[in-house]
């Protein structure tokens, strides 16, 4: 397996990252555990998940992949062998079952992170990412997108909130997932 270091960190990750978005919907817990065993045995140390998984998102399976990873980590007692990444869900259509306010306020970040850590049965994440931007952007499946520029730039507050979780030891590094180019 080839490895690289996440830029500007000391976190060494396999160049292959194991995605988990189908566990709990298309794949069972046993299948998820088997996939993680297979990956780890072959040197894959990087596992990605998100609070919104499994997909397609729905209230019955929301958080299921994190729970499956959590039971695997608890069963194998191997948290130190895994680089674990998860994501907080940003504003998306039809995901209000996750949180009333799908934003990146300190309260929403704390709620999402606390629940993810509980499901994952760990006290920290190596990488915690914002999943989709808060501002209006074109998303999958939308034709004839019209940009609405009504968004107050709050990135400094979001970064301050995330930094507080880094200082608490709940997050090692922060990141951004599914961002788009500006209009």
Residue 53 a catalytic site member: yes
Beta bridge partners of 127: 85, 173
Set 38, 53, 124, 145: catalytic member: 53
Q: Kindly list the catalytic residues.
A: 53
């Amino acid at each position: 397996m080839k490895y690289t270091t996440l830029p500007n960190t000391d976190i060494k990750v396999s160049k292959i990252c194991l995605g988990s978005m189908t566990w709990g919907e298309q794949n069972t817990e046993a299948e998820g555990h088997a996939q993680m065993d297979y990956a780890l045995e072959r040197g894959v140390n990087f596992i990605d998940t998100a609070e919104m998984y499994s997909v397609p998102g729905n209230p019955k399976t929301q958080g299921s992949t994190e729970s499956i990873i959590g039971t695997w980590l608890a069963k194998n007692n191997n948290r130190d062998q895994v680089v674990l990444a998860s994501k907080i869900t940003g504003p998306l259509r039809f995901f209000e079952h996750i949180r009333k306010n799908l934003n990146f306020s300190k309260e929403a970040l704390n709620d999402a992170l606390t629940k993810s850590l509980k499901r994952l049965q760990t006290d920290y994440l190596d990488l915690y990412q914002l999943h989709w931007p808060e501002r209006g952007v074109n998303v999958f499946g939308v034709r004839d997108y019209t940009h609405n520029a009504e968004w107050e730039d709050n990135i400094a507050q979001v970064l301050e909130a995330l930094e507080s979780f880094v200082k608490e030891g709940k997050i090692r590094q922060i990141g951004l997932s599914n961002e788009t180019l500006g209009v």
